[in-house]
Amino acid sequence: MTPDDIRRTAFAMPLTSPAFPKGPYRFVNREYLIISYRTDPEALARVVPEPLAFADPIVNFEFIRMPDSTGFGDYTESGQVIPVTFEGRRGNYTHAMYLNDGPPIYGGRELWGFPKKFAQPTLAVERDVLVGALDYGSRRIATGAMGYKHVALDPAAVLKSMSVPNYLLKIIPHVDGSPRILELVDYRLEDVTVKGAWTGPASLELAPHALAPVADLPVREILSATHILADLTLGLGTVVFDYLAS
């Protein structure tokens, strides 16, 4: 292949057989269990990168079931998302994500900078409760539960909450191990259709783990829980801050 051939065809690794296709990436019947909790402000300050800021020490622990996603397949994801502000505008910073499928790990990290690692999350209804669980190897590190569809929520209000900016810290190393790319990325959820949303009583348990430190943001108080079923497109991002430019 000539250099021109390579420049024309390359968009992801490996060159001749990319691990994921080009977007857009559409998700059908994406199901969320989001448990919002209060944590220690000192612990949160250690992981939120400037120029992002937070007003309250709140974390959203998410379990997400994705049975039908373009190019990525059928998988489940779990992790921690932190409400933040950037230049005075409210949004969410994705701190850690764990999932059980290769293409969305590779694509999420390479394209957007999602902090994805391989693990075994699940989300399912067990009789009268919606249960999310996250295992890292043989160790259970998170369990969330919510009473199944106890109270319906306003879909318009949920849609508004899903329309805020989302921020990621994209890190790609140079061949010498130093950061080649170090950027704050803004991405949005697009063409969102909320098919249903509910709330109910909830619980969340986190356990320490050396390589999946979800418990480093400990649960001090459960604030709310939300169960959402939606179709959406995962939009590509824009760079809003370059840490290597200064």
The helix or strand, by DSSP H or E, that contains position 158, with its residue range, turns out to be: helix 155-161
| DSSP 8-state code for residue 53 | B
C-alpha to C-alpha distance for 242 and 184, rounded to whole angstroms: 6
Could you tell me if 98 and 121 are in contact, meaning their C-beta atoms sit under 8 angstroms apart?
Answer: yes
Q: Give the active site residues.
A: 116
CA neighbor of 148 nearest in space, from 71, 33, 236? 33
CA 79 from centroid of its chain's CA atoms: 6
C-alpha to C-alpha distance for 222 and 208, rounded to whole angstroms: 19
Could you tell me if 96 and 119 are in contact, meaning their C-beta atoms sit under 8 angstroms apart?
Answer: no
The helix or strand, by DSSP H or E, that contains position 28, with its residue range, turns out to be: strand 25-38
26 phi and psi angles, rounded to 5 deg = -100, 135
C-alpha to C-alpha distance for 170 and 179, rounded to whole angstroms: 10
CA neighbor of 32 nearest in space, from 92, 90, 102, 103? 92
Could you tell me if 109 and 103 are in contact, meaning their C-beta atoms sit under 8 angstroms apart?
Answer: no
C-alpha to C-alpha distance for 230 and 169, rounded to whole angstroms: 26
